[in-house]
Each structure stands twice: as C-alpha cells, then as structure tokens.
Amino acid sequence: MTFTSIIWKELRERPTAMITSVLSILLGVTALVAIRNVSVFSEQEVAGKLDTLGANVLVLPKGVTLQDYYAADMHEETIPEQHVAELALAGLTGVEGLSPKLCVPIKLQEKSATLTGILPQADLQTMAAWQGGRLFKKHVGCKAKINVANAQDDAPEALARRRTIQELHDHEAVIGADIAGTLGLNTGDAVDMLGETFTVIATLEPTGTIDDTRVFAHLHTVQRLAGAGEVVNVIEVMGCCEDVANGLVDQLGTMLPDTRIVTIANVVETQVSINRMMTRLSYLFLAILIAVGGASMASAMYANVMERRREIGTLMALGATRRFVTRLFLVKAGLLGLAGGLGGYLLGSGLALVLGPNFAGVAVQPIPSLALIAAGTAVLVSFAASYFPARRAAGLDPCLCFQEV
Amino acid sequence: MLRLEQVSKVYRKRGEEIAALQTTNLEIADGDFVAIIGPSGSGKTTLLSTLGGMLAPTTGKMWIDDQSVYDLPVADRARLRQEKIGFVFQTFNLVPYLTARENVSIPMYLAGMTPAAQRERATELLESVGLAERMEHKPSELSTGQQQRVALARTLANNPDLILADEPTGNLDPASRQMVLSYFEKFNQTGKTIVMVTHDIAAARTAKRMLNLSEGVLEGIPHEPVLKSA
Ligand SMILES: Nc1ncnc2c1ncn2[C@@H]1O[C@H](COP(=O)(O)OP(=O)(O)OP(=O)(O)O)[C@@H](O)[C@H]1O
Ligand SMILES: [Mg+2]
C-alpha cells in the first residue's frame, strides 16, 4: 500500500461527495480559461492592427462609421477627389503616401466582386512635382524607415501588403487572391469589367482581409466606367510612424472640415473595450471560482473529515502522525484541484474555440501555458479551502477510535 | 514493562468535571495478560486510552520501559504506538474502503515498509488467522468474526510488545468470541503483554490477572487463570 493508493481508494469509494466541489472548480476554471483564451487572441489582433496600420489615418465622408479598417471604402457615400490633390500639395509632415479609393460592385464572369479604383503613386508624384511641392516630408525625430513608394517596392504584387502601387495604367487590373483562385485568373489574362477589357498585371497573395475579394483598377477608369464623377469613398493617409497619426488627425480635421478623420485606434476602439470587459469578466469569474469553488470544496472536505472521524482516530492509534493526517487531506485536495483545473482548461479551451469566432470575431487556438495557470489556480483554491478541514482532521482525538459508530 | 504512577483523569466539559479515573498506581510486567472488568462508565476506556499513549492523564506519569510516555512530543507518541502497541477494538475499526490485506498493511505502511514486504507479511498474517481466501474482500463483505480476525492480523502487523483490547468480544457471536480469546492466549504465549478491558467476566477469567474498575477506582481481584486452549 502507498499514500496515493489510500487516497485513490477513498475517493473511489465515495466519489459523489466530492463531485459538486470539483465541478464548481471545474466550471470556474472553464469560464476563466475561455475568456482569457479569447481575450489573448483578441488583444493580439488589436496589437497586430495597431502595429501594421497604426500610422495610418482615414479620411471618410462625414456620415460613415466603420468597424473594419480594410472595408473602409465599402459604402455609398463619397468625398470629392479634389481632396487628394489638396493633401498632396499641403506637404504635411510625416505623410508617406496617399491612397484614395472608390468601390463599385461588379459581376465578374457571373461572380460578385468589388472593383476598387486606386490612384498609383506615380500619378501623385507627378501631381506634386508639377505644382512644385514636395510630397513627403519627414518629421523631426522620426525613427521610422523611409517608406515612400517607389517602383521597386511597390510592384503590383506587393499591393496587398504595401497598400500602394507605383504604376497602374488605364486598362490594367490587379486581382485579389480569392477571386483569382475561384476564377482561375493569372497574370496576362484578359477580363471584362463594366463593358471594357482589362489585362491582369498581377494576382495578390491571400491576406485574410476583404482585399482578397477585390479587383483593383485605376481610379479614373473606375470613375469613368461607373459614371461616378470625380469622387472617392475614402482617402487612406499613410503616416511614417505612429507619432504623427494623432497630429495628423487635427491637421486633416481643419483642412477638410466636411470629412470624418479616423485613426486605426478609433477603428479598434470597440474591440479594445470588449477586451477590457473580458478582462474584468475574468476577474469576476476568478472571484466566483474562489468563492463558490472554494466554499464548496471546504464544506465537502469538512464533511469528509467528520464522516471519517473514527477512521482517522484508528489511523492515529495505529501510529499515524498529525502530519500524515494533514497530508492525507491536503494531497486529496490537491488531486481534486488538479482534476478540476485540467478539466476546466480542456473545457474552457474548447469553449473558446466556439466563442472566439462567434462572439469576439477572432480566431482562437488553445494556449498551453494557460493549462499551467488553470491547474495552479485550481490547486491553490482547493488547498486553501481544505487547509482548515485538514487541520481539523489532524487535531482529532485519537481516542475517537474507541467510540462506537 | 508498563507502569502507572499516581495517574488520575478528570474530564472537564463546559465547567463540569467528571473524575473518570481516580489516582491509580499500576504495574504490568512484560508477558502479563491482564483483564480489567467493570460496569459501563467506570473508566475502562479512559484507562486503556491512557495506557495507549492517546490520552494525557490529569496527574501522574505513565511509563513504558523507562520512557515517560506523556513527556514525549505527540509525534513521538504516535511512533511509539506504531512500533510497540497493537490495538483491538470492539467495533474492529477496519478502514471500510480498503481490502483485508490493505487493512493489515496499514501499520506496516506507516512504519515505512516497502509495498512488496507489506504484501508478503499481510498475506502471511491473514493466512495465520485462517483468512487466506478473503484477502481481497472489503470489511462489508466479511462476517463480524472474520472482521475481528482481520483486525487481529492488523494488530500483529508490526509485531507489537503490548496489545490493548477494548471489549474485543463485545460484538461477537459465541464461536467468534471463543476464537478471539484463544488467539489472545496464543499471542500471550509468544511473549506479548495483553491488557484487555471487558464486561465479560468469563472472558476476563482467561487472563492471568484480573482487575476491577469501579467508578474510577482500580483494584485487584484474586483469580486463577482458566486455560481455554489446554
Ligand atoms: N471525552 C470525554 N469527555 C467527557 N467525559 C468523558 C469522555 N470520555 C468518557 N467520559 C466520561 O468518563 C467516564 C468514564 O468513561 P469510559 O468511556 O472510560 O467508561 P467505560 O468504562 O469505558 O464505559 P463503557 O463500558 O460503557 O465503555 C464516563 O462517565 C464518561 O461519561
Ligand atoms: Mg468503554
């Protein structure tokens, strides 16, 4: 016989007595793990967006609100294209690039797609040079690598990543990954859109964003074919680094009073506040775990000690020390806590896989290190709850062994 | 040798005092077999608990082989019980969720014996009390007589010098009672000291020495042992 075999056999004999308390710890841990798991991925996503897009500012029509940065141009309202020239000529410090967009829904070989008109950087540079202005000025103390568009970096294939393109001619098109995939389009193919034929000059890498379902063409071509006039849905202003984004908001706001200026921080605001709420919720569940799980463990342990008084007295008569008796209950509590913690981790990770995409809009994967935290917390709660019952057991009078029943 | 020196026990409960054991002097030599009889409430269990190192007397000292037991720390007293004392209970006190063999193993486990050695000795002991076929049975699957035999095997596990028994035959049918008494005689013949507390005068007569406890006062009864197994 060994120490653990005594504990296992006792547990096996009366499993129901401890089930409620293990279950309540398990449920507490489940909720904690699920929430933590989702919020870790949600925070990662926010951080990722801020990292890649943090320097950018969107110039939108007044009435537009948006949730998804990448879909900033997917709406009906427009602003004059004139604003692009105004911005180019203003020589705003720290602005590396401007990308106006106009979207129109189209049918492409019977498939719905979005035709997005963009202005190649070459056009902008010509415009600025022509007017004698310098488009891109670094601000004082900027540590960012200069990222001004050039023919080498801003090849059509890099459009999805760089969000700008150097050259794009009248009847050329760049195709998003999904569309290219489903329609089997390759570089050099010809496609018909809005009654005219375009040559595919590049297909894009998948990005996981809405850009994958877009077809890009020259802004002016799209304006002409859609009969939209000289308007755009959005102007994306690329700053050199995050430091300028906030300053730009003020400057742009005064320059273009009939528009709405939005930073990526504004876009992810909702997600940030959801994350904050999830963090608070996880504290609440921790409190519930400690209160409910702990209390139910404590009372079950206490009942277990009372039920086993004569057994404990007998063990003491046979030579068991108080330390041994304390250990008997604490190790049992530890095992139960471990079971609740690991079970809760598995259940919580499973729950997060469902909740993440459906409620928080983020893809989620199990986080192995959470298993350690979950098990640790559960064991700690279980220990703490069983401390006094175990002390009580160790303090029992060995003379109990002589009492009848 | 076991010796009580001016030992008395007073229980104090909510301001009330119960003198369970009057000032008592007692010497029990190694290899003795003492029966203590007395009516219910006379202090028999109190005396036995004190002899077992589990109940500190209100006054006086208790010695086991020149060791003043109640001057030892609690943990040392537990070790002393584990090494030198075996208990037999009226209600057997087998651990309900353990098999006969595991119950017999408990004292050996507490003494730090390896599982294999525990198993081997437990098997031997259970065979010696005629329970070779019942090793893997739990107490609830055994008759009361069989349960007490498992308890006897457990008592012998660490080969104690002293056996303390509280009403060991109280819950048994006549045949099982007879059997337990003859085991006691056998243990005594192998040199173990036995102190048995009982209501049962006939059972007490099998002991070498008889003492009467009445309202906490202990006194000897003149007596010639009746040898059952002879
Ligand atoms: N833990 C205790 N607290 C207070 N009083 C006690 C305690 N244990 C025993 N007593 C009292 O001490 C006296 C002696 O009790 P004890 O159990 O020793 O008697 P006993 O001779 O073993 O009786 P029985 O034959 O019924 O087992 C009784 O009056 C009893 O009520
Ligand atoms: Mg008694």
Element (H, E) at A393: helix A368-394
Mutate to test the interface with A, among B11, B47, B79, B91 (most CBs of A within 10 A): B91
Pick from A285, A304, A279: which is nearest to A24 by CA? Answer: A285
What beta strand segments (E) does chain B contain? 2-13, 16-28, 33-37, 59-64, 67-68, 85-88, 162-166, 193-198, 209-214, 217-221
pLDDT given for residue A239 in this prediction: 80
Burial class (CB in 10 A: 0-12, 13-18, 19+), A126: exposed
Q: Are the CB atoms for A245 and A57 separated by under 8 Å? A: yes
Which carries the bigger pLDDT value, residue A153 or residue A314?
A: A314
* Alpha carbon distance B30, B24 (integer Å): 19
**A405–B contact, CB cutoff 8 A:** yes
Whole-number percent of chain A with pLDDT over 90:
43
The segments of chain B whose pLDDT lies below 50 read 230
* Ranges A13-17, A80-84, A263-267: which has the least confidence: A263-267
Mean per-residue pLDDT for A202-206?
Answer: 89
Q: Are the CB atoms for A172 and A157 separated by under 8 Å? A: no
pLDDT given for residue A7 in this prediction: 95
Taking CB atoms and an 8 Å cut-off, how many pairs form between chains A and B? 88
* Alpha carbon distance A304, B207 (integer Å): 40
Strands A231-232 and A79-80: antiparallel
pLDDT given for residue A64 in this prediction: 81
What does the CA dihedral B58, B59, B64, B65 come to, rounded to 10 degrees?
A: 160
Residues found in chain B: 230
How many CA atoms within 13 Å lie on the side-chain side of A280?
6
Residue carrying the six token digits 């986080």: A367
Ligand 1 binding pocket includes B192 (Cβ within 6 Å): no
Which carries the bigger pLDDT value, residue A158 or residue B221?
A: B221
- Is the per-residue pLDDT at A134 higher than 60? no
A249: phi then psi, degrees, rounded to nearest 5: -55, -45
pLDDT given for residue A144 in this prediction: 60
Highest mean predicted confidence (pLDDT) among A74-88, A152-166, A289-303: A289-303
> What is the tens place of the pLDDT at every residue in A78-94?
999 999 888 888 777 77
* Alpha carbon distance A344, A32 (integer Å): 9
pLDDT given for residue B230 in this prediction: 43
> What is the tens place of the pLDDT at every residue in A367-394?
999 999 999 999 999 999 999 999 999 9
- Is the per-residue pLDDT at A123 higher than 70? yes
- B117's CB contacts (< 8 A; 6+ apart) are B108
> What is the tens place of the pLDDT at every residue in A334-349?
999 999 999 999 999 9
pLDDT given for residue A350 in this prediction: 96
A56: phi then psi, degrees, rounded to nearest 5: -95, 150
- Is the per-residue pLDDT at A58 higher than 50? yes
Mean per-residue pLDDT for A250-267?
Answer: 85
- Domain borders along chain A are 3-48+271-403, 100-234
Q: Both tokens of residue A373?
A: 């935290």
Q: Which residues pair with B210 in a beta bridge?
A: B35, B221
pLDDT given for residue A275 in this prediction: 87
Residue carrying the six token digits 């006039």: A229
Whole-number percent of chain A with pLDDT over 70:
92
Say yes or no for a CB contact (<8 Å) between B79 and A319.
Answer: yes
Average pLDDT value for chain A: 87
Q: Which chain A residue has its CA at the smallest distance from B154's CA?
A: A318
Say yes or no for a CB contact (<8 Å) between B49 and A321.
Answer: no
ipTM of the complex: 0.95
* Alpha carbon distance A366, A370 (integer Å): 8
Q: Which chain A residue has its CA at the smallest distance from B80's CA?
A: A319
Burial class (CB in 10 A: 0-12, 13-18, 19+), B43: buried
Say yes or no for a CB contact (<8 Å) between A6 and B91.
Answer: no
Q: Which chain B residue has its CA at the smallest distance from A12's CA?
A: B97
**A319–B contact, CB cutoff 8 A:** yes
pLDDT given for residue A217 in this prediction: 93
In angstroms, what is the C-alpha Rg of chain A? 32
What does the CA dihedral A351, A354, A355, A361 come to, rounded to 10 degrees?
A: 150
Residue A51: CB atoms within 10 Å: 11
Ligand 1 binding pocket includes B40 (Cβ within 6 Å): yes
Mean per-residue pLDDT for A244-257?
Answer: 82
pLDDT given for residue A147 in this prediction: 56
Nearest protein CA to atom 30 of ligand 1, as residue = B41
**Could you tell me the pLDDT band of residue A138, with boundaries at 50, 70 and 90?**
low
* Alpha carbon distance A64, A398 (integer Å): 78
Greatest pairwise CA separation for chain B in angstroms: 53
Ligand 1 binding pocket includes B46 (Cβ within 6 Å): yes
How many CA atoms within 13 Å lie on the side-chain side of A64?
27
How many CA atoms within 13 Å lie on the side-chain side of B19?
10
* Alpha carbon distance B170, B93 (integer Å): 13
Q: What 3 state SS string does B129-145 have? A: CCCHHHCCCCHHHCCHH
pLDDT given for residue A148 in this prediction: 59
